[in-house]
């Protein structure tokens, strides 16, 4: 795959196949951690960090162990265990080596273990019809996680403004947030013909 194809794949992952608004993965943190833009950025950074590491590890395990031994039906359970284990080790590593990063991301790391977007992307990367190599997997995963961060940040800024807006009582809180998410999803569908 040439460099321009990789750039196209990255743009596609960020905008066209957006993990939240198009693939509907990771909706839980999207709704739960988007009240403040600061927490949304923290969650986004943690997702980028964990998604890239766990997707890399799961891709290698699939390539070197699962496929040669024809035990690809174990993908889901193996990937869940890998993600959970990787998150624990990443958290421990950050605690020891980078207290500043731990202050920013620490609270979000354990929550990411239950984020279906991480498992979803790890599984999408190894789908035979995708025919991803290591470079494509890396670009796609980075693109998807940047797309996640972008959308959750935009959504959090809208929600911050909605807090002060004159919203009818019945729509306050979750209902208006869901309507906003729906409109954002429709907007992102407009990127479909971009690449």
The site for another protein (CB under 8 A) is made up of: 28-29, 31-33, 39, 61, 65, 69-71, 74, 77-78, 81-82, 84-89, 91-92, 95-96, 99, 102-103, 106-108, 110-111, 114, 173-174, 177
On whether the CB atoms of residues 121 and 141 are closer than 8 A, the answer is yes
Question: Min. distance of Cβ 128 from another protein in angstroms?
Answer: 19
Q: Which of 151, 183, 187, 158 is nearest to 43 (CA)?
A: 151
Q: Which of 1, 3, 17 is nearest to 194 (CA)?
A: 17
Nearer to another protein, 70 or 161 (CB): 70
Nearer to another protein, 119 or 177 (CB): 177
| Dihedral angle sign, alpha carbons of residues 31, 34, 39, 42 | positive
Question: Min. distance of Cβ 117 from another protein in angstroms?
Answer: 14
Nearer to another protein, 71 or 189 (CB): 71
On whether the CB atoms of residues 79 and 58 are closer than 8 A, the answer is yes
Nearer to another protein, 95 or 130 (CB): 95
Q: For tokens 């800024």, what's the residue?
A: 157
Question: Min. distance of Cβ 30 from another protein in angstroms?
Answer: 10
Question: Min. distance of Cβ 194 from another protein in angstroms?
Answer: 32
- Report the distance separating Cα 39 and Cα 20, nearest Å: 17
């Amino acid at each position: 795959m040439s460099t321009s194809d990789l750039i196209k794949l990255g743009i596609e992952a960020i905008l066209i196949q957006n993990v939240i608004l198009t693939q509907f993965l990771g909706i839980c943190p999207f709704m739960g951690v988007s009240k403040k833009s600061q927490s949304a950025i923290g969650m986004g950074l943690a997702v980028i960090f964990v998604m890239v590491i766990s997707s890399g590890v799961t891709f290698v395990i699939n390539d070197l162990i699962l496929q040669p031994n024809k035990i690809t039906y174990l993908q889901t359970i193996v990937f869940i265990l890998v993600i959970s284990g990787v998150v624990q080790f990443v958290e421990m590593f950050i605690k020891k080596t980078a207290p500043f990063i731990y202050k920013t991301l620490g609270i979000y790391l354990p929550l990411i273990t239950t984020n279906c977007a991480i498992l979803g992307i790890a599984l999408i990367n190894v789908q035979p019809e995708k025919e991803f190599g290591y470079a494509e997997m890396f670009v796609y995963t980075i693109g998807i996680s940047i797309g996640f961060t972008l959308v959750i940040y935009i959504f959090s800024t809208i929600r911050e403004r909605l807090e002060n807006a004159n919203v009818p009582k019945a729509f306050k809180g979750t209902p208006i947030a869901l309507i906003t998410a729906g409109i954002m999803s429709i907007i992102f569908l407009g990127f479909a013909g971009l690449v």
